[in-house]
Amino acid sequence: MFGCYIIFVLCLSISTISVQSPLNVDQNEIKKTAGNQKTVLLPFMQLAHELRSGPITILDPKTIFIEDLHYDGKGPKAHFWVGNGSWPFDNGTIVPDENGSMEILKAYNGQNVTIKLPSDLTTDRVDYLAVWCIEHKHNFGHTYFRKKTPGGSFGVQLEPFKQLAHGLRSGPIVAVGKKTLFVPNLHYDGEGLDAHFWVGKGPEPSPFGILVFNEKGSLLPLPKYTGQSIYISLPHNVTTDSLDYFGVWSMIHKHNFGHTVIPKNAKIPPINGNPRYTADDKEIVRVKKCCPVDQILEKTGCGPSAHKFNLTINVRERVDSYALKNLEFVPFVQPINCRHKTHPLDPKEFILLTSGSLAILNPDQVYPMDEYCFETVNLNENNKDRYRHWCFCF
């Protein structure tokens, strides 16, 4: 009995920035709250200094309300900042804080903050709101006043990190856009001296590369990673167009711990809004797929299919927390070379954790990303295609 189902595959192992904005400028496309017609934006992207927020609301053309704002206050010359372009740039404008002050921003610990745009600026004349460090030309995080353009690619898949030193390895790295890289299932022992993410030109990392902030916006030496999936934003005035590699580099020993190549012919998408959300504001969850993107699992193995990968599973921060809502599953491909079993994807049995691990409730077990992948299975019952979500256990 072999019909067609979308399945989860769980593998359990036996052992220079353009200032032209690509964003949709049609104000009618902006999401609006019911009833009061106030424009609700996405939260700040979390790029540095623990900046984060709840929803950000345009109350009127000059007034912006930021809910649940968090920021550690440690940026040397950080300010609210607005400007034009697809990514915050140093040609923007300072926005006074909630007290009308132009002083350096203090720490915020969950406050609700209302700020007003200066002089003759209005929200329809700028593309983004950010927290920007003038001294280091560093974007701590931002949101866009307009929705991203629908359609287009969710990124270009690159090779995983080469495994050269200190246990560095990863899943296939995804160039989400010209400013953002997604690194799934990252492992590193944390013992390399003065090790950092590193980008540059040439066939492999060298002392002439550029230091890159980690996923928390820090320039401290990299800590230990045990399978986390992270987003990395490239530094000011750097895009994938000017790079040949992305890796981990010891500045003291001038030693390459591992890297991936950014091919010259890679059709990496342009910057298009928040890389972690879709055009209709669904949060993107990137998951590991067993077969190539245009294939599913048939009786004889992976085979071509026009059936859309459409995963159904609960996603939670912890097993005992609430399921996250309004999500879009986007696959990257990493086949698993091991013997496997298949399991129908029952939401009562499986939970995908935001850490990338997969929890099985009965029996109570948690498996890292190394040990599973998801796929669509064609059950082909009575010569009729039928699709279902499954989980493959190896």
Output the CA angle 330-154-394, nearest 5 degrees: 30
The answer to whether residue 373 sits within a structural domain is yes
**Do 172 and 84 fall within a single domain?**
no
- What pLDDT was estimated at residue 381? 56
pTM equals 0.86
pLDDT at 213 over 70: yes
Q: Which CA distances in Å does 9 have to 3, 61, 116, 222, 374?
A: 16, 49, 50, 31, 4
85 contacts 130 by C-beta, under 8 angstroms: no
> Can you tell me the distance from the alpha carbon of 25 to that of 47, in angstroms, rounded to the nearest whole number?
25
pLDDT score at 7: 47
Q: Is the dihedral of CA 85, 133, 182, 174 positive or negative?
A: positive
Q: Is 270 a member of any domain?
A: no
Are 190 and 297 in the same domain? no
- Confidence at 5, pLDDT banded by 50, 70, 90: very low
Which structure tokens are listed for 55? 């929803």
Q: Give pLDDT, residue 192.
A: 96
DSSP state for residue 8 in the 8-state scheme = B
Among candidate residues 261, 293, 314, the one where a domain is terminated? 261
Window from 4-13, 98-107, 247-256 with minimum mean pLDDT: 4-13
Does 98 lie in the same domain as 174? Answer: no
> For 379, what's the count of Cα atoms within 13 Å in the CB-facing half-sphere?
16
Percent of the chain scoring above 90 in pLDDT: 65
User: What is the domain count for the chain?
Assistant: 3
Residue 257: is its pLDDT beyond 60? yes
Backbone φ and ψ for 240, nearest 5 degrees, come out as: -65, -20
* pLDDT > 70? residue 12: no
Strand order in the sheet with 56-60: 39-41, 56-60, 63-71, 108-116
Position 336, amino acid: I
Where residue 270 falls (left for φ over 0; alpha for ψ -120 to 50; beta otherwise) is: beta
Instruction: Examine residue 151 and state whether it is found in any structural domain, yes or no.
Output: no
Residue 369 counted as domain residue: yes
71 falls within a domain: yes
Q: Write out pLDDT tens, residues 295-334.
A: 988 877 888 988 888 888 999 999 999 999 999 999 999 8
Mean pLDDT of the chain: 86
Q: Are residues 162 and 65 in the same domain?
A: no
Using the predicted structure, report yes or no on whether residue 244 has a pLDDT greater than 70.
yes
pLDDT at 367: 87
One domain for residues 384 and 279: yes
Q: Say how far apart CA 251 and CA 268 lie, in whole Å.
A: 28
375 vs 336 pLDDT, higher one: 375
Element (H, E) at 18: none
On the question of pLDDT at 130 being above 90, the answer is yes
pLDDT of residue 390: 56
**Domain identity same for 389 and 283:** yes
Residue 40 burial (C-beta neighbours within 10 Å; 0-12, 13-18, 19+): middle
- pLDDT band for 341, please (50, 70, 90 cuts): low
Residues 334 and 247 in one domain: no
pLDDT at 337 over 90: no
Cα–Cα nearest to 307, from 379, 355, 249: 379
Record the tokens describing residue 178, joined without a space.
């010209």
Q: Same domain, yes or no, for 45 and 117?
A: yes
The domain boundary residue, chosen from 226, 261, 296: 261
Same domain for 239 and 280, yes or no, is no
- Looking only at the bridges linking them, the beta strands covering 327-333 and 283-289 are parallel
Task: Give the pLDDT confidence of 46-81 residue by residue, as tens digits.
Answer: 899 999 999 999 999 999 999 999 999 999 999 999
3-state secondary structure of 371: helix
Q: Which residues of 13-26 are buried (b: 16+ CB within 10 A; e: fewer)?
A: eeeebeeebbbbee
Local confidence band at 266 (pLDDT 50, 70, 90 cut-offs): very high
Q: Give the per-residue pLDDT at 35.
A: 44
CB 18 within 8 A of CB 27: no
Longest dimension (CA), the chain: 72
29-38, 145-154, 293-302: least confidently modelled range: 29-38
Q: Which two tokens stand for residue 225?
A: 């990673």
Domain annotation covers residue 19: no
Q: What is the pLDDT of residue 302?
A: 86
Rounded CA gap, 206 and 243, in Å? 13
Estimate the share of the chain in helix, then strand, then coil, as percent rounded to the nearest 5: 5, 40, 60
Q: What is the distance between the alpha carbons of residues 149 and 168, in angstroms, rounded to a whole number?
A: 36
* Domain that residue 174 falls in: 156-261
Q: Which of 212, 234, 261 is the last residue of a domain?
A: 261
CATH of the domain at 302: 2.170.180
Can you give the pLDDT at residue 13? 41
Judged by DSSP in three states, 28 sits in: helix
pLDDT tens digits, 168-209:
999 999 999 999 999 999 999 999 999 999 999 999 999 999
* Residue 113, in any domain of the structure: yes
Mean predicted confidence (pLDDT) in 357-381: 83
For the chain, give the percent of residues with pLDDT over 70: 85
Side-chain-side CA neighbours of 202 within 13 Å: the count stands at 12
* Residue 306 domain-assigned (yes or no): yes
